[in-house]
Amino acid sequence: MKKVVIEAPAKINLTLGVKRKRADGYHEIESVMHHINLLDRVHMKMKSEEGITVNSDSRLIPEDKNNLAYQAAELILGKNGLKEGVEIFIEKRIPVGAGLAGGSTDAAAVLRGINSLMGLGLERDALMELGAELGSDVPFCLMDGSALARGRGELLTPLPKTTEMQIVLVKPDFQLSTAQVYGGLVLGKVRRFPDIGAFLAAWTNYDIINIAREMENVLETVSIEKCPQIAVIKRELIQLGALNALMSGSGPSVFAVFAEEEKAAYAYHKLKSCYQEAYLLRSYY
């Protein structure tokens, strides 16, 4: 039977602003999302008999219907009236519950993989529409590069390529629930909102110094209160020469942007001895 392996990159939020809470309970966001080369690898093998199986080398994710990869397979097979089954194996390298869209990117990889294995010929837009049924971050995970996300995160405007970023990412040793962090957000308490106009001006000018300066995430107010270690890691990264450091998504991952690869490598080696999950990364195109 046919097999495929798809790379599933993590995302970081270079900016994350929240406009308001909507009547449907979701928050209206505005966020610049960026893929980084921290990758899961999703192996898929079609089989002639029905049934979806999910296995992983990680003990931290479910291997049943609760896995977003399972739900993605069920959705695309069902919508296309396919009777075949699929075996999925996830090589998990993206930290779980970390604000890096690990589940969403695996789901996106499954949509792409089954589309290709079964020769469905679905265009990216059709896959993104399916992805939106699975979660707000899944459509972005089907895109390349970077995008400005609005709405729940599913309304995407692709951004042009900019300068490649040198990134150090640290995942503290605990998880945060996205729902709980959004639930704790009080917009009146937020002191700084992202200036998206200034950010995008720096972006189109390949101006890494101002890209870094304009990075802002309103959810830090909530997550840092729950977990002050996030603020400690940000300070450490800046002391080690980062242009700026920010929490990604609802956290707790913190990433820093560096002007030079050597400085990033230096900071990474320093932090690796204190934090088990530290990564030296770059943009993923």
* Residues annotated as part of the active site: 11, 137
Six-digit token pair at 78? Answer: 């069902």
Near ligand ATP by CB under 6 A: residue from 77, 115, 137, 212: 137
Q: By CB under 6 A, tell whether 99 contacts ligand ATP.
A: yes
**29 forms part of the interface with ligand ATP (CB under 6 A):** no
Does 153 bind ligand ATP (CB under 6 A)? Our answer is no
Among 102, 131, 172, 194, binds ligand ATP (CB under 6 A): 102
Is the torsion defined by CA of 138, 143, 148, 150 positive or negative?
negative
Among 14, 32, 36, 98, binds ligand ATP (CB under 6 A): 98
User: Can you tell me which of 86, 101, 149, 168 binds ligand ATP, judged by CB under 6 A?
Assistant: 101
Spatial neighbors of 158 by CB under 8 A, at least 6 apart, are 143, 145, 146, 147
Q: Is 252 in the site for ligand ATP (CB under 6 A)?
A: no
- Choose which of 39, 69, 77, 211 interacts with ligand ATP (CB under 6 A): 69
Q: Does residue 68 interact with ligand ATP by CB under 6 A?
A: yes
Residues in contact with ligand ATP, counted by CB under 6 A, come to a total of 20
**Paired strand residues for 52:** 86
Nearer to ligand ATP, 182 or 275 (CB): 182
DSSP state of 187: G
- Token pair 């505005």 is found at 30
**Contact region with ligand ATP (CB under 6 A), list: 63-71, 77-85, 113-121, 226-234:** 63-71
The reply to whether 220 sits near ligand ATP by the rule CB under 6 A is no
259, 222 contact by CB (below 8 A): no
Helix (H, G, I), strand (E, B) or coil at 199: helix
How many degrees, rounded to 5, is the angle at CA 273 between CA 218 and CA 265? 70
Least spacing, CB of residue 151 vs ligand ATP, in Å: 15
Question: Quick count: other Cβ atoms within 10 Å of Cβ 183?
Answer: 12
Q: In the chain, at which residue ranges do the beta strands (DSSP E only) sit?
A: 3-21, 27-47, 52-56, 85-91, 146-151, 155-159, 166-170, 216-217, 244-247, 254-258, 278-282
The footprint of ligand ATP (CB under 6 A) covers 61-62, 66-69, 90, 96-104, 106, 137, 178, 249
